[in-house]
Every structure is written in structure tokens, then in C-alpha cells.
Amino acid sequence: MAHACATKVKRALLSVSDKTGIIEFATSLVALGVEIVSTGGTRKALAEAGLPVIDISEVTGFPEIMDGRVKTLHPKVHGGLLGIRGNDAHKSAMRIHDISPIDLLVVNLYPFAQTVAKGGDYDEVIENIDIGGPAMIRAAAKNHGDVTVIVDPDDYRDVLAALKERGEVAYDARQKYAAKAYARTAAYDAGVSNWFAKTLDLPDLTWRCFSGKLREVMRYGENPHQWAAFYADGSNRPGVATATQIQGKQLSFNNINDTDAAFELVAEFDPEHAAAVAIIKHANPCGVGQGRTLVEAYQAALKCDPVSAFGGIVALNRPLDEAAAIEIVKLFTEVIIAPGATDDAISIIESKKNLRLLVTDSLPDAKAEGLTVRSVAGGLLVQTRDNQNADDCELKIVTKRAPTEAEMADLLVAAKVAKHVKSNAIVYVKDGATVGIGAGQMSRVDSARIAHKKSKDAAKAAKEKGALTEGSVVASDAFFPFADGLEALVEAGATAVIQPGGSVRDEEVIAAADKAGLAMVFTGMRHFRH
């Protein structure tokens, strides 16, 4: 364990890009008798506030040069941060070279991520890569036995409280601040590295880093015995990480996972074309519907599987309105997420105190590029986001019968939904809405049969005869390896099929389709979602 000296804070170095709370913090430090050293814009702000402050150049004996690129990279700074107070050799070196100790370092970094987010050009982004800041943070954190390092304005209050109480920060607190500091520089460097990788089209870098900032620690994870927390990665993709929670209790781990799945699915449907609603349970759709209004779309989605929809997530591609809110609250729902909500709709939702309402500024761009990350034992699986759908494919009609215009419209809907269903996925669609969904089976035939059975149950609930799948079209997320999968679809009453194709038995499957009078379309694009 590192040495743990009782280090009175007599001298502090403040150099911050985000100046939130820094004047108040520095004022309190001065009142406690702490000498303030500062740099550049921070020094100017402190001086303008009337605070006594020593310019870093007075410490180093060297001016800031190269547009501020070089100002703190100096032995007088780093010696003050790294010198071990109880080490005779270090004390001697500090005495010989006239190095004064720095007991408190407060640094936050150049706004690299913000510069990227606002569309800064290459040269502007490069200039916002901080060098001196991370170097000082790492030095102070290494020497946490003597030095307190603060990288987050949220920690100012606790530091001041400690200093007012005893003139020093406790060792265990310094340890925690050091851990936080290294996490901050690691996340910062990860952002820089990933920007280079994207900008220069270098997907297979030898080292890959991903980072996030803690949003909240949860009661538990996927199950009650698991610890969990939610971190935001700063990408600002519209969704659960950027949404404003209007009301309702804290989101759970599963809520966040399922809400993300729901919003990404509904984003496949252009709100200018039609209102769309997706109802999700355990990251799988229970139903997806379209209509002239959100009410119509919701009713169509609910009809597909009203039993599973209980306690589900509802995602909308248009702002929530009063009429839709009235319909949705009739059934127990965990979360509603939408790109906005009217005041009247919010009033309706408020009648259900535990119902979470999340609103975003917009829908996520289903076509946007990005990376997804999944952990496995000993590593990470990284891939590009699946940002394509049937609209991007060169569709190939492979059967004697071509789909009708109405069938083709439904086939495209089915294919878009199937992309978001756990594999093996089978999705039946009729009149722009799902009427049967089979998800996550080891056999594609079983997925087809399960979807058919559930559609019979849904028809019974709707007081209709037979199965909802009668006269529907169907999508498969991957090819049919055998003709028996197609036979299950015929049994369910499907009239047309869309699938990737690419099986060695494609000809056998096409022949079975022709025999049954089905139209079949190949997309050439698989959408596994394991």
C-alpha cells in the first residue's frame, strides 16, 4: 500500500476547461489560507473575480508558449505533484531545485468530445486534445499518498468540507479521487483513439477502448443478485440515454435494455409515412403496428399479442398525444418512450404514478453508423451497428408468382420487424401490422409454429375465428435451410415470404413455394440477433 501521510493542503493548482463552480471553490480555498496557482483562462477568471492567484509562469520561470500547448509540462510542476513528502531523497531534490509541493490539483480537460459532437474540423479537434492536463492528473493520482486530485466539479463540495473540518483530505478519499482520475483520463484517451479510428477508417486498431460516464447505480441487474449501473457513452444517440424522464419510478436494468430495443425498432418506421408503435417484452416485440394515428397503430400492435404486452415497453415514432395516452394506460405498461409528448398526454400518464414516461428530442437514425460491444469470457466482441434494412436491398423475386403491391408493402414491414426479433426469427404481417411473431428458437420451424399458435390465441382474444396469420405475409431473419420451414408458413396461411436466401437448398425451398402458390422475395441480407 502507498504511504499515507497527513498532508495539509497549503497550495493548489487549478486549471479547468469547465469552469462550473471554480470561482466559488477557489474563493473558499483562499479563505482557508490555501495559495492558488493557475493557468491561462482559469487564472484570468480567478483574477477578474478579485482572488489572489499566481500565474503558472511565475512557478516555472518559463512563459506559456505555442498557443498554450506548453505551459505545465515542467519539473517545477511535475516535481511538485510527484515529490513524496516523506522521502528524504525527494525532499532533497525539491530543496535543491526550488520545487514547492502542490497539495491539491484541480483539472478538467479540453472539450474534445464536445468539439467532435459539434462537428469541428480535423485541425480544431486536434487542438482540443489535452496533453498537459492528463499528464498532471496522472502524476497527482500516482502520488495520492500526498496529493488530492479532483477532475469533477461535483467533488468540490466534499473536498471543501474535509478541508474546513481538518485542513486535509482523508487518505481513503484521496485513493478514490485517484481511481476516478485515472478512469477519467482513460475515458478521454479512449474518445481520442476512437475518433482517430473512425476518421481514418481504422476499424481494426490493435487496442480498442470503450468508455462511459456513470448515470446511475441501480437496485440490481438483470436479476436481484447482480450488481448493475448505467453508463452513458456520450454519443448522444437519441434513446434511453438521452431521454428526459417525465415521471415514474427509477428505470431498472431490464427497463433500459428493453426500452432501447423498443425505440430502435420503432425508428425503422418513418413518422412522415405513418404512425408506428412497437410493444416490447424481454427485448422482443410483442407487436408492431402502423396507422394514420398513434391510437390506430397501438391497437394494431396490441392485437398481435395482448397477453405478452402486459407489463411491456411501448415505443412511438411520433410525439405521444392525449388519445394514445388514454389507450395505453388501459393496460399495465412499464415504460413509454416517444420523441415528445403533449401536455394533455402527460396529464393522462400522471394518473399512473409508476408508469415511466421518457421523451427524446427525436428518433434515432436507423441508418447511422456506429459500433456495438458485447462481452464474452476474456474479451469483447465489437461490430458495426446493423444499420441497414430491406429498403437497402436489391430485392429479387425468385418464385413464379410475384407478390402483389399490398403483399410487397407488408413484406417490407415484416423484414424490418424481423431484424429486431431474436433469432431464429419469424414475423407474420398483415395490413402493415404484425399478426404473429416467433422469436429465439433453436429451430426456425418452431419459431414459425409458435408464431402461428400465438396468432390463434390473439384471434380468440379479438373474438375472431381461425388465426390472424391467415392471408398474411411472413419474414425470416435468415434463410430456410429446408423446405419444412416453408411448409409451416403455408400451414399458418401465409401468401408471400421474404428471406435472405443463400442456402444450398434454395432451389428446393423455391420449388416448395411455387407448389404452394406463394410469392417469395430474396433480400440477400441476413439479420441475426442472437
Quote the radius of gyration of the chain (alpha carbons, Å).
30
Closest CA to 26 of 40, 4, 8, 11: 11
Question: Is the torsion defined by CA of 91, 96, 97, 99 positive or negative?
Answer: positive
CATH number of the domain residue 94 falls in: 3.40.50.1380
Give the confidence band of 6 by pLDDT, cuts at 50, 70, 90: low
Tell me, yes or no, whether 177 and 228 share the same domain: no
Tell me, yes or no, whether 178 and 227 share the same domain: no
Identity of the residue numbered 458: A
Q: What is the pLDDT of residues 17-41, one digit of tens each?
A: 999 999 999 999 999 999 999 998 8
Tell me, yes or no, whether 352 and 426 share the same domain: no
- Mark whether 452 is an active-site residue: no
Give start and end residues of each alpha helix (H) in 436-516.
444-461, 483-492, 506-516
CATH number of the domain residue 469 falls in: 3.40.140.20
Tell me, yes or no, whether 33 and 106 share the same domain: yes
- Whether 280 is in a domain gets the answer yes
Mean pLDDT of the 485-512 span: 91
Domain that holds residue 49: 11-199
- Whether 382 is in a domain gets the answer no
Tell me, yes or no, whether 328 and 457 share the same domain: no
Q: Which of 180, 198, 282, 453 is catalytic?
A: 282
Tell me, yes or no, whether 24 and 144 share the same domain: yes
- Mark whether 142 is an active-site residue: yes
CA 501 to chain centre: 32
pLDDT of residue 129: 93
Q: Is the model's pLDDT at 499 over the cut of 70?
A: yes
Q: Is the model's pLDDT at 234 over the cut of 90?
A: no
- Whether 204 is in a domain gets the answer no
- Whether 528 is in a domain gets the answer no
Tell me, yes or no, whether 240 and 338 share the same domain: yes
- Whether 23 is in a domain gets the answer yes
pLDDT of residue 66: 84
Tell me, yes or no, whether 112 and 193 share the same domain: yes
Q: What is the pLDDT of residues 144-153, one digit of tens each?
A: 999 999 999 9
- Whether 373 is in a domain gets the answer no
Q: Is the model's pLDDT at 503 over the cut of 70?
A: yes
Q: Is the model's pLDDT at 3 over the cut of 70?
A: no
Give start and end residues of each alpha helix (H) in 336-441.
343-349, 405-418
- Whether 231 is in a domain gets the answer yes
Mean pLDDT of the 400-427 span: 96
Tell me, yes or no, whether 415 and 293 share the same domain: no
- Whether 527 is in a domain gets the answer no
Tell me, yes or no, whether 344 and 419 share the same domain: no
d(CA 52, CA 73) in angstroms, rounded, equals 23
Q: What is the pLDDT of residues 250-278, one digit of tens each?
A: 999 999 999 999 999 999 999 999 999 99
Give the confidence band of 2 by pLDDT, cuts at 50, 70, 90: low
Residues 6+ apart with CB under 8 A from 226: 220, 253
**Count of domains forming the chain:** 3
Q: What is the pLDDT of residues 91-138, one digit of tens each?
A: 898 899 989 999 999 999 999 999 998 899 999 999 999 999 999 999
Q: Is the model's pLDDT at 14 over the cut of 70?
A: yes
Q: Which of 142, 180, 198, 453 is catalytic?
A: 142
Tell me, yes or no, whether 441 and 467 share the same domain: yes
Tell me, yes or no, whether 187 and 232 share the same domain: no
**Whole-structure pTM over 0.95, yes or no?**
no
